Amino acid sequence: MDITELTVHELQEKLEKKEITISEITKAYTGRIEEKEKDVQAFVTTLCSEAQEEAKQIEEKVAKGEITSKFAGIPIGIKDNICTKGIKTTCSSKMLENFVAPYDATVVEKLKEENLINLGKLNMDEFAMGGSTEYSAFHVTKNPWNLNTVPGGSSGGSAAAVAANLVPWALGSDTGGSIRQPASFCGVVGLKPTYGLVSRYGLVAFASSLDQIGPITKDVEDAAILLNMITGHDEKDTTSEVKEKVDYTKCLKNDVKGLKIGIPKEFFGEGINEEVKKSLQKAIETYKEMGAEVEEFSLDIANYALATYYIIACAEASSNLGRFDGIRYGYRTQNFSNLKDIYRNSRSEGFGSEVKRRIILGTYVLSSGYYDAYYKKAQQVRTLVRKQFEEAFEKYDILLTPTSPTVAFEIGTKSSNPLEMYLADICTVSVNIAGLPGISIPCGVDSQGMPIGMQLIGKRFGEEEILNAAYTFEQKIKFRESNKPQFKGGVC
């Protein structure tokens, strides 16, 4: 038995039956990291020896009955824009290359309460801006299915690490698709929760009104378990919702009879790869077979979602990233003779080109004279997007779309063409704009054997419906049983 092949709920069962130990699990993972990390390069920081030490301590405490949490000793990987006390949080940027936060993000505190073990910090596009993890200032993470392709992004390190069994599960963050798209590219499950379900405290902000932390896992049940751990109102984040706690594993009923699924036809139009379309059609047929009621409808406002997204996200980012000024922490230029030089040179040298591009875009759309035409207009469209989704959810329980117009593309093919890169977000951004939950699960592979992702969108706080729908589908097609990453290629 390869421990790293198991899902977390399987690991937990075996722990409970004392078939394996906490130390064995950690050891299996650190061994796997040693073996495969050089190919995948999913991490920015690995904590292998620390994790083994921690495993021992937790094991002892569990034996003495001092720790009773159900998932104590399960390892996890954390995207490197989520602050971890005493451990570097770099956002894969030169700007924060040596930044160590003196505090834990709220989600990290919650994981510590569960006695999970941090295996390391996972690579990403710099400041979560990008869809391929090629914009990491440190290294490009490879897709375990084909090492010549990207893992997607920005949570590419998280998705690749889960796919390559370097971690059993991971936390990512999603501003416009950064959990779902890499999950889709890497053939794993990625859930972006409803805006406000998970505290953002300690998540280094990209676009505050869009960012959410969420799970990237091997299967839907694990996603529900990890979601259980991280949800809840946080006094430190006033945008986090005060809401009764839900056990998301309880909604996995393996039954979609009578479920009303809406298919927004705009998500199947031009630019969507034919093989992706075909795979999605098949998934739709599967849902019909399982007793769901499927209907096509028009969500035409989605055509404006991408433009809206890039205006709002860049505007907020231009302000959020102002604090990286070389004054208090982070990168400071060696080359200055006055204050303006410190600002100009620290930021010019510390940020990568994509981050700079978005800061400039965002600064522009907020500038006086342009504010009304761009930012204000985008906010108005945002209201319309929300409204059209609300109307759709009066008729349907969930919506079904592709997660990404294509499968994972080859490294280097899009990184020099920002517009093409932005278009890869077309299926996911409207979900963030509307603040809704979305999950990506694998629904098949293309002719090259690369995974294709299906996105299910729920109404506000409708995580239960999409988790159940995803779970039921997963149980039916059993994707993991017949498809595994092959670590193809990778000659470089």
Partner 1 sequence: MSREDYEIVIGLEVHAELSTKTKIFCSCPTEFGAAPNTHTCPICMAMPGTLPVLNEKVVEYAVKAGLATNCEISRDSKNDRKNYFYPDLPKSYQISQFDKPLCEHGYIEIELENGEKKKIRLTRIHIEEDAGKLNHNEFGGGSLVDLNRAGVPLIEIVSEPDLRSAKEAEEYLKKLKSILEYIEVSDCKMQEGSLRADVNVSVRKKGTTEFGTRTEMKNMNSFRSIVRAIEYEADRQIDVIEEGGIIEQETLRWDDVSGKTFSMRDKEDAQDYRYFPDPDLVAIRLSEEYIENIKNNLPELPESRRARYIQEFGLSEKDSNLLTASKHLSNLFEEAQGICNNAKAVANWLLSDVSRILNEKELEPDQIPFTAEQLAKMITLIDKGTISSAIGKKVLEELFEEPKDPEEIIKEKGWIQISDEGAIKEVVMKILEANPQSVADFKAGKDKALGFLVGQAMKETKGKANPQMLNKMFLEELKK
* Residues identified as active-site: 79, 154, 178
Binding flag, residue 319, partner 1 (CB under 8 A): yes
Q: Which stretch binds partner 1 (CB under 8 A): 70-78, 118-126, 280-288, 315-323?
A: 315-323
> Which residues from 419-478 bind partner 1, rule CB under 8 A?
none
Identify the residue among 323, 335, 391, 412 touching partner 1 (CB under 8 A).
Answer: 323
Tell me: does residue 231 bind partner 1 (CB under 8 A).
no
What's the burial of 377, exposed, middle or buried (CB within 10 Å: 0-12/13-18/19+)?
Answer: middle
Q: Name which of 200 and 459 has its Cβ closer to partner 1.
A: 200
The single residue among 209, 249, 475, 483 that binds partner 1, judged by CB under 8 A, is 209
The CB-of-383 to partner 1 minimum distance in angstroms stands at 13
Question: Shortest distance, CB of residue 205 to partner 1, whole angstroms?
Answer: 7
Q: How far is the CB of 94 from partner 1 (least distance, A)?
A: 14
Rule CB under 8 A: choose which of 14, 23, 103, 307 binds partner 1.
103
Q: Is 83 an interacting residue with respect to partner 1 (CB under 8 A)?
A: yes
Question: Could you tell me how many residues of this chain bind partner 1 (CB under 8 A)?
Answer: 44
Out of 97, 255, 293, 325, name the contact with partner 1 by CB under 8 A: 325
Structure tokens at 171: 């936390």
Examine residue 316 and tell whether it contacts partner 1 (CB under 8 A): yes
Q: Which of 138, 297, 304, 329 binds partner 1 (CB under 8 A)?
A: 329
For position 328 contacting partner 1 by CB under 8 A, the verdict is: yes
CB of 213 to partner 1, least distance (A): 11
> Is 333 an interacting residue with respect to partner 1 (CB under 8 A)?
no
Distances from the Cα of 385 to the Cαs of 211, 309, 370, 434, in angstroms?
17, 11, 22, 6
Minimum CB separation from partner 1 for residue 75, in Å?
Answer: 23
Binding of partner 1 at residue 315 (CB under 8 A)? yes
Q: Which of 235, 296, 341, 390 binds partner 1 (CB under 8 A)?
A: 235
Distance of CA 279 to the CA centre of its chain: 22
Q: Which of 22, 33, 42, 205 binds partner 1 (CB under 8 A)?
A: 205
Q: Does 318 bind partner 1 (CB under 8 A)?
A: yes
Written in H, E and C, the secondary structure of the chain is: CCHHHCCHHHHHHHHHCCCCCHHHHHHHHHHHHHHHHHHHCCEEEECHHHHHHHHHHHHHHHHHCCCCCCCCCCEEEEECCECECCEECCCCCHHHCCCECCCCCHHHHHHHHCCCEEEEEECCCHHHCCCCCCCCCCCCCCECCECCECCCCCCHHHHHHHHCCCCCEEEEEECCCCCHHHHHHHCCEEEECCCCCECCCCECCCCCCCCEEEEEECCHHHHHHHHHHHECCECCECCCCCCCCCCHHHHCCCCCCCCEEEEEHHHHCCCCCHHHHHHHHHHHHHHHHCCCEEEEECCHHHHHHHHHHHHHHHHHHHHHHHHCCCCCCCCCCCCCCCHHHHHHHHHHHHCCHHHHHHHHHHHHHHCCCCCHHHHHHHHHHHHHHHHHHHHHHHHCCEEEEECCCCCCCECCCCCCCHHHHHHCCCCCHHHHHHCCCEEEEEEEECCCCCEEEEEEEECCCCHHHHHHHHHHHHHHHCHHHHCCCCCECCCC
Find, among 58, 135, 50, 52, the residue nearest to 94 by Cα. 135
| From 202, 438, 444, 453, residue interacting with partner 1 (rule: CB under 8 A) | 202
Residue 194 interacts with partner 1 (CB under 8 A)?
A: no
Which region among 54-62, 225-233, 360-368, 461-469 touches partner 1 (by CB under 8 A)? 360-368
Q: Which is nearer to partner 1, 89 or 123 (CB)?
A: 89
44 touches partner 1 by CB under 8 A: no
x/- track of binding to partner 1 for residues 117-146 (CB under 8 A): ------------------------------
* Pairing mode, strands 438-445 and 169-174: unpaired
Is position 200 an interface residue for partner 1 (rule: CB under 8 A)?
yes
CB of 201 to partner 1, least distance (A): 5
**289 is a site residue for partner 1 (CB under 8 A):** no
By CB under 8 A, name the binding residues for partner 1: 81-83, 89, 91, 96, 99, 101-103, 105, 200-205, 207-209, 235-239, 315-316, 318-319, 322-325, 327-329, 339, 343, 363, 366-368, 371, 375
